[in-house]
Structure 1
Amino acid sequence: MELLLKGVVIGIGATVLMDLWAILLWKAFGQPRPNWAPVGRWFWHLKNGTVFHDDIAKAEPYANELALGWIGHYAVGILYGIVLALAAGPAWFAEPAFLPAWILGIVTVGAGWFLLQPGLGIGVAASKLPNANTVRALNLIAHTVFALGLYGTALLIR
C-alpha cells in the first residue's frame, strides 16, 4: 500500500511540474496554454466506445468537459506514477535514479501520439497539424519534464 501511495504522490508531483512548465512556456515564449476541454470531451465520449474522432470539436459537447479534462490529466499522471512505483519498486524510492523515470516519461509520449492525438482528430503524432514536428518536440520535452517531476518528487519523499 505504501508503494501505491508513493506512486500517487510522485504522479501528482510530476503532473504539477509539467503544468508549471506549460505556464513558463506561456509566460516566457507565448506558447498557448494547454486546453484540457477537448481532452475532457474525448474522455466523455469514451463511455460510448468512441475512441477516435475526425475532429473532437465537432463531437457532442459535454457541459463539464474542462473539469473532466483536468481530472483526466491528473488521473493519467497518477497512473504513470503508480506504474513507475510498481515497476521500480521500493529500492528505487530508497535511491531514486533519473533514468527509470525518464524511460517511462518517453514511453508515455506514445499514449499521446498513438491514442490521444488520433482520438482528438489531429492524427498520429499530430500528423494533421501544420506544426507537427514542433508539437512532437514539445511533447518529448514536456514528458521529460514530467520524468524530472517523478524523479524530483521521489527525492523529496525519500
Structure 2
Amino acid sequence: MVDILWRSVAIGVGGTVLMDLWAVLLWLLAGQGKPNWAPVGRWFWHLRTGKVFHDDIGKAAPYAHEQALGWVSHYAVGIAYGVLLVAITGPAWLAAPTFLPAWIVGIVTVGAGWFLLQPGLGIGWAASKLPNPNKVRFLNLAAHTVFALGMYGTALLLA
C-alpha cells in the first residue's frame, strides 16, 4: 500500500514538473506570460473564509505568502490527480502504464480549472471574461496533455 501511495505521489509530481517546464518553455520561446501562481495562492487563502468566487482576485485582500501558497497548492493538486489516476487504474496500471488513462485524467481535470478555479479568480467559466478565451482554453488543454505525458512518463520510469 505504501509503495502504491509513494508511486502515486511521484506520478503527480512528475506530471506537474513537466507541465511547469512546458509553461517556462512557452514563456521563453513563445512569449506567453511568465508562470505566476500568486493569484492561485490568494484564491486558496480566501477559500478558508468560504469565499470561492471572486469578481477579480486581484482586488481581494492580499496574503503575504500567496506566491508560495500558489506553488504548494499547484503541486498538491497535481499530486491529488496522480493519486486519482492510480486509484482509478489500480496497481496493474503501475506495472504496465499506458498513456490513455493518464491522458483521460489530464483532460478531465481541465474541468476543475474551467469551472472552479477560473471563475474563482474572476476570469469567468472557461476564461470567458478574457479577451482571448479560446486561446486560453487551447493552452489549458495543451498543458493538461503535457501533464498527462509527465504522469505517464513518470509511471514508466517507476515500472
1:2 is matched with 3
State yes or no: 1:152 paired with 2:139: no
CA contact (8 A) 1:36 1:69 kept: yes
TM-score in terms of structure 1 length: 0.99
Amino acid at match of 1:23: V
Amino acid at match of 1:20: L
Q: Hey, what's the Cα distance between the residues in 1 that align with 2:111 and 2:23?
A: 19
CA contact (8 A) 2:24 2:35 kept: no
Q: Hey, what's the Cα distance between the residues in 2 that align with 1:134 and 1:140?
A: 10
Moved over 4 A (4+): none
1:94 is matched with 95
Deviation of 1:80 (Å): 0.2
Alignment of structure 1 residues 48-67 onto 2, 5 Å: 48-67=49-68
In structure 2, runs of 5+ residues without a counterpart are: none
CA contact (8 A) 1:17 1:149 kept: yes
Alignment of structure 1 residues 3-152 onto 2, 5 Å: 3-152=4-153
Q: Hey, what's the Cα distance between the residues in 2 that align with 1:64 and 1:31?
A: 24
TM-score in terms of structure 2 length: 0.98
Determine what percentage of the aligned residue pairs are the same residue: 73
CA contact (8 A) 1:4 1:86 kept: no
Amino acid at match of 1:110: G
For the residue of structure 2 that corresponds to 1:115, the secondary structure is helix
In structure 1, runs of 5+ residues without a counterpart are: none
Residues 60-102 of structure 1 show CA distances to partners (whole Å, capped at 9, x for unaligned) of 0000000000000000000000001111111001110000000
Q: Hey, what's the Cα distance between the residues in 1 that align with 2:109 and 2:3?
A: 24
Amino acid at match of 2:101: P
Deviation of 1:4 (Å): 1.3
Amino acid at match of 2:144: H
CA contact (8 A) 1:122 1:129 kept: yes
